[in-house]
A and B are shown apart, each in its own frame.
Chain A
Amino acid sequence: MKRRHGFSLIETMVAVAILGILLVTAYGGVAAQRLESARLVQRERALQALEFEAEGILRRLPTDPQVRTLHLAELPEAQFEARQVQPDVVSLTLAWLAPGRQHARVELMLVGRLP
């Protein structure tokens, strides 16, 4: 029987396929991490927007609607809501469409004797 030398086509294809799968898996992890970072930045923007509103309530200062608009413009499909949950509790909520078409939401609760 003639002795075979080198790799067969199947072996080469399997090796390349495994390499491809490893690269795709690794890139998937990196892409997920990148998406999560982008979400974190948007979450920080949302928190800044809510803290702007909270400062207005706590310091009894009027909040400029133009500034609110600028804050919300940085978040796709942003929806802001402020509601009195209990006599001493105000809930400030901001929902938006995060990267990856996921719905995100942050809530800031102001608890205590509010002005």
Chain B
Amino acid sequence: MKRRGFTLVELVVVLSLLAVTVPLVFSALRVMEQDTRRGLAQVDAAQTARDVGDLLRMDLRTMNWQTADTLVLVGPPPCSKVQYDIISDGILQRRAEGTPACAQVNPVARHVKALRRVHSGVELVTGHAVGDGPPMETHFRLSWPEKPL
């Protein structure tokens, strides 16, 4: 007699194999996706450090920190005061005051978790969501020789 279809044993074996292999494949893909996200986050963090470092370095050519621990720079016109703040959603904002040519508010970078003064510079902390866990933090030290206050 010609057999048609699969037997119960064959189906059970196939389903068991699938039950083992499918989660394995998906967990491998999930690990790959998270690793890709981490890699992209690191690239973005490096670019943020470059942008923030360039801007602060440019400001510090004409200005000086107002105090030893705040993110406020003061100097002669056209820009008499520049302040860096982290506003909502990790956006670093630069607020410049002075003559109309200088006075403006600009977003500088995204995914900024912290920007704090340290000895001879600032520490920039970026935070990127890479999965279900806490955001991935990357720390950068941006330094420059400081003029005495």
Binds B, one of A47-55, A81-89, A90-98, A101-109: A47-55
Complex: A66 Cα to B119 Cα, angstroms: 9
A69 CB, min distance to chain B CBs, angstroms: 11
Question: With an 8 A cutoff between CB atoms, is A13 at the interface?
Answer: no
Q: Closest A-chain residue to B33, C-beta based?
A: A30
Contacts A5-B3, A41-B46, A64-B120 known; A48 to B141 CB distance under 8 Å?
Answer: yes
Complex: A109 Cα to B146 Cα, angstroms: 22
Main secondary structure of the interface of B (DSSP, over half): helix
CB neighbours (8 Å) of A37 from chain B are 38-43
Cβ < 8 Å to A, chain B residues 88-138: 119-121, 138
Question: With an 8 A cutoff between CB atoms, is B86 at the interface?
Answer: no
Q: Closest A-chain residue to B3, C-beta based?
A: A5
B120 contact from A34, A43, A67, Cβ within 8 A: A67
Cβ < 8 Å to B, chain A residues 33-82: 33-34, 36-38, 40-41, 43-45, 47-49, 51-52, 55-56, 59, 61-64, 66-67, 70-71, 74
Residues of chain B whose beta carbon lies under 8 Å from any beta carbon of chain A: 2-3, 6, 10, 21, 25, 28, 31-32, 35-36, 38-43, 45-46, 49-50, 53, 57, 61, 119-121, 138, 140-147
Residues of chain A whose beta carbon lies under 8 Å from any beta carbon of chain B: 3, 5-6, 16, 19, 23, 26-27, 30-31, 33-34, 36-38, 40-41, 43-45, 47-49, 51-52, 55-56, 59, 61-64, 66-67, 70-71, 74
